[in-house]
Amino acid sequence: MTKPSLLSRLLLIALFAMSTLGTSFAAEAQDVSKQAQAFIDQYTERFVDIYKLSAEASWASNTLIIDGVQVIDDLNQIAGEAFARHTGSVQVIEKTRYFLKHKDKLSDLQVKQLETILYNAGNNPQTVPDLVAKRITAETAQNTALFGFSFTIDGKEVSPNDIDRILTTSEKLDERLAAWNASKEVGKKLKTGLVDLVGLRNKTVQALDYDNYFDYQVSEYGMTRQEMMDMNVQFMKELRPLYRELHTWARYELAKQYGVKEVPDQLPAHWLPNRWGQDWADLVEVEGIDLDGVLEEKGAEWLVKQAERFYVSLGFDPLPETFYTKSSLYPLPLDAPYKKNTHASAWHMDLTNDVRSLMSVEPNSRWYETTHHELGHIYYYMAYTNKDVPPLLRGGANRGFHEAVGSLLGMASMQKPFLANLNLIDGNAKTDDVQILLKEALGMVVFIPFSAGTMTHFEHDMYAANLPADQYNQRWWDYVQKFQGIVPPEKRGEEFCDAATKTHINNDAAQYYDYAISYIVLHQLHAHIAKKILKQDPRATNYYGNKEVGAFINSILKTGAVVDWRKVMRDHLGEEISAKPMLDYFSPLMKYLKKENKGRKYTLADI
């Protein structure tokens, strides 16, 4: 979409949104079930219209960030307020509560939609319209501050991809430290806005009787806050022995690599290849699997097209042409007069056929996997856009399921037989299977203490435990050390807000456990596919072209949020959520790590 046409579209958003001053519904029929259905139908029609316009405004605010230009933020505010007025309408809340008092007279599908309507209202209750408007303004401003920030190293502007490249490849500790420090500067600018948002988010949902924003987000799973925290702690406890081996291995290997004689008890943050220490996979290069050189020759566009070809090979439809014409898939040039959100994401713009992705694809292995992941979201959208799933329930079985599907297909795309099938590697090349497993564990196992531990516990404390703003940075690093065994290069005072440098803290708040859940679920799905369908070793599979695999995946995707996620697990996998398949997957690695770490000092405490 050209910039002039985009701005014209946003003008229409403003005109429509400003004309949306309230929500009204037709007179009630006598039968409660018919009343409820009429209400749901009218609510949905308006919801979809405003959802589309709000999505367009949000898309613009993430893809066209211009320093000093306020118009897009203003339009995003107008669209957001229109969406809030509808979803949080006092009349909507009252009617929904009324119908839910008569569940025994309604179908399960009606109840599910009504519960979704009430949940949506909790985020924007028009019982407190001024508060909702303030929150929308604050969230828009925070997003602009985050993605409009100019990162610099030694006075020279760099992109987030440049920072990641240094942390991934450089063996010079001073260069790594400069890049890591540069990545944290944005947190200073974001702290005040984050503090305000915590208060506004809490007060907003409290208007509809939720204790706090964290509890509100957890409630979508049908769980209490304590149940969610206990489940995440259990994930970490089950994986702790393996993570301890990985942590010990990394300390000694990195000390050797950087020429440091005294091995530190905890990992200095700038030693690691990821800004938050959530993924260490780049510490290992597997001989015989050198994707970067091959992918660089193929180019960034090939990565996206190849990811689509993979899904088509499983039996899914090709992407609509509008995916390519409306998405923002590649990095902007450094001299572009505007910026965009550099965090990869997938968008269901109209809850029907307008699907898009926001990425900054470069031809390397990281983006190869990411394209497969993001298209997993896109194909989830496409699968549950069908007559059996009402628009209000066009979401994942739970939020973690969406991530699980993306990560599952991303992981599948990186396994050796899959890569050999595409001639991206020599199928006869000798590779060390243990090193392949180590690389995977440094991505997946390492991620759990960050997601289930640091992020989930920090956000819990911000929203549910009233963490004072002058303790944000200290609490963040307390959790980073406790769960991840990582410390900052030097003491970080409260002038910093290192948590806020993570995108999700700002604009996808109190939901990061979704990602921990997704990694657990993806291993359950993968174990089923490998053992029951492919009859292959889970560590060496090739999904490509297998229609039975596609049919199994589609059977889960196509029901959207109509079926409770626990029932989806039981019906399709025959089990509850469990870390056991993940542990089984990495079990051969333990023997290797124990041998490598023999005689080394273990410093990671139990949880």
Instruction: Kindly list the domain boundaries of the chain, sorted by start residue.
Output: 1-127
Per residue in 309-338, pLDDT tens?
999 999 999 999 999 999 999 999 989 999
Phi, psi of 142 (to 5 degrees): -65, -40
Look up residue 536 and give its DSSP letter. S
For 55-112, the three-class secondary structure string (H helix, E strand, C coil) is HHHHHHHHHCECCCCCHHHHHHHHHHHHHHHHHCCHHHHHHHHHHHCCHHHCCHHHHH
For the chain, percent of residues with pLDDT exceeding 70: 95
Per residue in 41-84, pLDDT tens?
999 999 999 999 999 999 998 999 888 878 888 888 888 888 99
Cα–Cα dist 128/208, whole Å: 10
pTM score over 0.85: yes
H-assigned helices in 341-483: 365-384, 399-412, 416-421, 433-448, 456-464, 472-479
Helix (H, G, I), strand (E, B) or coil at 22: coil
- Copy the structure tokens of residue 100: 């839910």
Non-local (6+) Cβ contacts of 79 within 8 A are 13, 14, 17, 50, 53, 54, 56, 57, 58
Cα–Cα dist 202/200, whole Å: 5
**pLDDT value of residue 6:** 55
Non-local (6+) Cβ contacts of 318 within 8 A are 308, 312
**pLDDT value of residue 10:** 55
The pLDDT confidence band at residue 4, using thresholds 50, 70 and 90, is very low
Cα–Cα dist 484/157, whole Å: 31
By the 10 Å C-beta count (0-12 exposed, 13-18 middle, 19+ buried), 508 is classed as middle
Give the pLDDT mean for 171-175.
97
Cα 400 off chain centre by: 9
With tokens 């938050």, the residue in question is 276
555: nearest Cα among 338, 401, 363, 374: 401
